[in-house]
A and B are shown apart, each in its own frame.
Chain A
Amino acid sequence: MKGSMAIFAALFALGIGAAFGAEEWGIEHEGTARFEATVVDILCELTGDCPAECGGGKRQLGLLRDDGTLLLAAKNFDAFAGAVNDLISFCGKRIVADGLLIHDPAMPLFALQFKRLAPDGEWSRANRFFKDWAERHGADKAPEWFRHDPAIKDLIADDGVFGIPGLKPEE
């Protein structure tokens, strides 16, 4: 484990600081990065199977840099959430991405913290997942959406927190 204290920075780095610039989360191999790239549907990029609008939010998205490097945009600014909600409206467009590039030997990942349409669109925080969830389920529960999401509650009710029905934490 590379620093359990990083959990809280990585999961709950919410809204502190007004500047639009990536903040470090204390993750090994991380580095802040700001660059221009085109938002692409990764499955399309790899296979040529390309539905309209990058699949409309159901496919993982990547950032295709000018040197041809494809980055998997795995995370956004919200706890336990990915970056697709933030990027889908930019499908096929060029953006300025600001966030953390994780140069882990296992595989590189990008955590999107801010984005804007290139070259000089308006910055916005990459927290679209919270906003979308809040619209569907209520803003008051959004910060801990994962405790209140109906689909998650149903799954945990069926299988338990360990994923095995009947296996429960000790009291």
Chain B
Amino acid sequence: MAGRQSGIRPNEESSDVRGVRAIAAAALMAVSASGAGAADARRVTVTGEIVDTWCTVTEIMYALGTAHHQCAVWCALGGIPVSIQDDDGNLYVILKVEDDDTSVANPGIVRIQTHKVTAEGDLYERDGVRYLIVTQVADDQGIVNLTHDEYGIQPFGE
């Protein structure tokens, strides 16, 4: 395209154009190696329950509140992504909490499984997934969604 815009055919590029192309290609490769998709984030405040992403999305069992707490702990320590689910059902996959970039079996996140929290952070949306970098947990109400009377202990009843 650069050749067409400058009136130079691709096979007749000047050394300057070839130099620019080489620099651009090198820059693209460098960006790619360090996270090519670096996207725009927007600041959000999310209130919802800390949930296991897999059980919630697939609905292979009832996956909210006290009934699912033990399973949510299993899954989080098994390394499955943890999300916040807001009251509208939107899921926000947690990638980082404040300075801690551990999103696999993070003991701090496991400790607040099933809690209702309000988190401030940076939201990245990519290919249908909302990824959240939590900059501050502004509020933690603890576990308030008491579902065990209706749903027992998910998924095995013990």
Q: How far is the CB of B54 from chain A (nearest CB, A)?
A: 5
| Beta-carbon contact of B69 and A47 below 8 Å | no
| Beta-carbon contact of B114 and A70 below 8 Å | no
- Closest B residue by C-beta to A109: B57
Residues of B within 8 A of A55 (CB): 101-102
Which of B80, B104, B155 is within 8 Å of A57, CB to CB? B104
Residues of B within 8 A of A64 (CB): 37
Q: How far is the CB of A14 from chain B (nearest CB, A)?
A: 15
| Beta-carbon contact of A47 and B91 below 8 Å | no
| Beta-carbon contact of A162 and B66 below 8 Å | yes
Query: How many chain B residues touch the partner (CB < 8 A)?
Result: 60
- Closest A residue by C-beta to B131: A46
Residues of B within 8 A of A51 (CB): 101
Residues of B within 8 A of A161 (CB): 69-70, 153
Residues of A within 8 A of B103 (CB): 43, 58-60
Q: How far is the CB of A107 from chain B (nearest CB, A)?
A: 5
Is the CB of A6 closer than 8 A to any CB of chain B? Answer: yes
| Beta-carbon contact of B126 and A46 below 8 Å | yes
Which of A48, A75, A82 is within 8 Å of B104, CB to CB? A82
In B117-158, the 8 Å CB interface with A consists of 124, 126-131, 133, 142-143, 148, 152-153, 155, 158
Is the CB of B38 closer than 8 A to any CB of chain A? Answer: yes
Is the CB of B111 closer than 8 A to any CB of chain A? Answer: yes
In A148-165, the 8 Å CB interface with B consists of 149, 151-152, 155-156, 159, 161-164
Is the CB of A18 closer than 8 A to any CB of chain B? Answer: no
| Beta-carbon contact of A46 and B60 below 8 Å | no
| Beta-carbon contact of A78 and B78 below 8 Å | yes
Binary CB contact string for chain B from 79 to 108 against chain A (1 if under 8 A, 0 otherwise) = 111000000010101011000011110110
Is the CB of A16 closer than 8 A to any CB of chain B? Answer: no
What's the Cα separation between A70 and B61 when bound, in Å?
26
In A48-103, the 8 Å CB interface with B consists of 48-51, 55, 57-60, 64, 68-72, 74-75, 78-85, 92, 102
| Beta-carbon contact of A60 and B95 below 8 Å | yes
Residues of B within 8 A of A134 (CB): none
Residues of A within 8 A of B70 (CB): 156, 161-163
What would 7 A/B residue contacts be, using CB atoms closer than 8 Å?
A10-B60, A60-B81, A60-B95, A69-B127, A74-B80, A108-B127, A109-B58
Given contacts A80-B78, A156-B73, 18 further A-B contacts (CB under 8 A): A4-B60, A4-B61, A45-B37, A45-B126, A47-B35, A47-B124, A55-B102, A58-B103, A71-B127, A75-B54, A109-B53, A146-B77, A152-B74, A155-B73, A161-B69, A162-B69, A163-B114, A164-B143
Task: Spell out A's residues near B (CB within 8 Å).
Answer: 1-4, 6-7, 10-11, 27-28, 40-51, 55, 57-60, 64, 68-72, 74-75, 78-85, 92, 102, 104, 106-109, 111, 129, 145-146, 149, 151-152, 155-156, 159, 161-164, 167, 169
